[in-house]
Amino acid sequence: MNTIKPIRRALISVYDKTGLVELGTALAAAGTEILSTGSTAKTLAAAGIPVIAVEDYTGFPEMMGGRVKTLHPRIHGGILADQNNPEHLAAIASHDIAPFDLIVINLYPFTQTIASTNDFAECIEQIDIGGPSMLRGAAKNHGSVAVISNPEQYEMLYRAISNGGFTLEERTRLAMETFRTTAEYDAAIATWLGEQLEVEDEWKAAIFHRIASLRYGENPHQRASVYSNATSWIQPGIAQAVQLHGKEMSFNNYTDADAAVRSAYDHSEPCVAIIKHANPCGIAIGLRIEDAYEKAHACDPVSAFGGVVATNRPVSLAMAKSLAEVFTEVIIAPSYEDGAVEVLSKKPSIRILTLDHYVNSGVERRPISGGLLIQETDLINAPGDSAKLWKQVSGEPVDVEVLADLQFAWRTIRAVKSNAILLAHDGASVGVGMGQVNRVDSAKLAVSRAGDRARGSVAASDAFFPFADGLQILIDAGIIAVVQPGGSVRDEEVIAAAKSAGIAMFFTGVRHFSHA
């Protein structure tokens, strides 16, 4: 059965006029009658393309500043008439309505407008009404009408013109893409209005577009793909990173890279984070990015093998030379100094990514069976995160260097999975205990990994010590100060242990659990 349907009559009304003249020229050359609206019609006419103005066809002028121009039976009747249904054909014939074979519409730029202005009235004016109505009507009636909703689909239209029209399969595909377009448009409007009314928590919508299929998921038997949030151009993240070299990214590469980037950007100083299985095996800051890398790698060189590295500064040539000596799965940075990519590229398997602009979205979504958890991102911006507001509960006042290490440890502990203990010295982690089911085991793990470096270091705990036993392990290893939230019913017992050891202990009043 031949499902190709000729394009005899088209309606074009576009905000984005990219490729409009070329499109009109191709349709006119194919003998297609073109109807159009407003500025679209003027653009086509100025190019010498025969066009019928919609108001001339309907006999009804545009009004209300263009709010009403296509909302007319002669337009929607021509869009919605099932051309295989004799009753529909008779109905439109009785009202002197000609059917359309092609609708080309793109919508007012609502999302771009809300991103650029807080003017409520201006945003409201960018809510398209006629466009979505015509798109949905044509998509519903795709058995008779082809619908183009994006300039990127023009190449497909040109092929159809050459082939004598669209097939039913092509029209169905275009209809699906159109409904996705209008769904995304309406979701953006509903989300924005909810934010304006401060009732956004009552309803959530998010649209994601597939970027690529991955070889597999966490394990080889799991299928996986990577998607980009439709609003990621406002808040870019790891999904928008550009790969300069290396094998394709895997599922685990993406999750570790996401954790690494966020960890590096937890700090304002030049910082390097090395992540393995979503946990840090080294985080450090330094005056130069190569210094930060050397200190981060020294924390746990064994675990750093095959790790994912992120920086919040350009990768220097010196850092690239050091990094090239270690097997690394992924390096992601805002940019690379001259020669750095060339040095790193000598390792054929390393994935070199650039993310020139990173913004934490401020919201985390976590699927659960039958639903979704949504929370504000832990951004380390609570009042208790400022050392000025910490409460010292034991020990003598600490010097500037020790306080700086405590502040570094406190910001860094956010990146460690609970229960989390981190030892730090000279702006670098020296021992990390993570993901244990009790704080004692985390303390033991941090001390074990630090070895001799534990003596003279400071410690951070992401939540309070429920007993003094976890703290005592750190004391016995030689730490000189500790920062923790406090708030345990046994705080006095823990404070007494710190006083007995003569170490400084600070309470923040805020915790930084990270479970997933």
| Domains in the chain with CATH codes | 9-196 (3.40.50.1380), 238-354 (3.40.140.20), 386-507 (3.40.140.20)
Is residue 233 scored above 70 in pLDDT? no
C-alpha torsion angle, residues 485, 489, 491, 493 (rounded to 10): -150
* pLDDT for position 1: 54
Question: What are the two backbone dihedrals, phi and then psi, of residue 70, each rounded to the nearest 5 degrees?
Answer: -110, -5
Determine contact, residues 207/201, Cβ cutoff 8 Å: no
Is residue 117 scored above 60 in pLDDT? yes
| Torsion sign over Cα 257, 262, 268, 274 | negative
What is the distance between the alpha carbons of residues 418 and 455, in angstroms, rounded to a whole number? Answer: 23
| pLDDT band, very low/low/confident/very high, at 75 (cuts 50, 70, 90) | confident
What is the distance between the alpha carbons of residues 183 and 205, in angstroms, rounded to a whole number? Answer: 10
* pLDDT for position 405: 97
| pLDDT band, very low/low/confident/very high, at 234 (cuts 50, 70, 90) | low
Nearest by Cα to 502 from 397, 423, 407, 420: 397
User: 246 vs 50, 131, 214, 353, 441, CA distance in Å?
Assistant: 52, 43, 15, 9, 38
* pLDDT for position 22: 93
Determine contact, residues 499/395, Cβ cutoff 8 Å: yes
Determine contact, residues 54/43, Cβ cutoff 8 Å: no
| pLDDT band, very low/low/confident/very high, at 61 (cuts 50, 70, 90) | confident
* pLDDT for position 93: 83
Over residues 386-396, the pLDDT tens digits come to: 999 999 999 99
Q: Which of the following is catalytic: 17, 88, 245, 277?
A: 277
Q: Is residue 277 annotated as a catalytic residue, yes or no?
A: yes
Cα 81–Cα 87–Cα 93 angle in degrees, nearest 5:
65
Over residues 433-464, the pLDDT tens digits come to: 999 999 999 999 999 999 999 999 999 999 99
Q: Percentage of residues in the chain with pLDDT exceeding 70?
A: 97
Question: What are the two backbone dihedrals, phi and then psi, of residue 503, each rounded to the nearest 5 degrees?
Answer: -100, 155
* pLDDT for position 114: 85
* pLDDT for position 411: 96
Burial class of residue 480 (count of CB atoms within 10 Å of its CB; 0-12, 13-18, 19+): buried
Q: Is residue 140 annotated as a catalytic residue, yes or no?
A: yes
Average pLDDT over the chain reads 92
What is the distance between the alpha carbons of residues 155 and 496, in angstroms, rounded to a whole number? Answer: 75
| pLDDT band, very low/low/confident/very high, at 129 (cuts 50, 70, 90) | confident
Q: Percentage of residues in the chain with pLDDT exceeding 90?
A: 72
* 240-254, 359-373, 425-439: segment of lowest average pLDDT: 359-373
Question: What are the two backbone dihedrals, phi and then psi, of residue 10, each rounded to the nearest 5 degrees?
Answer: -135, 150
Q: Which of the following is catalytic: 140, 204, 245, 321?
A: 140
| pLDDT band, very low/low/confident/very high, at 231 (cuts 50, 70, 90) | low
* pLDDT for position 87: 86
Is residue 429 scored above 90 in pLDDT? yes
Cα 250–Cα 252–Cα 258 angle in degrees, nearest 5:
105
Intra-chain end-to-end CA distance of the chain, in Å: 54
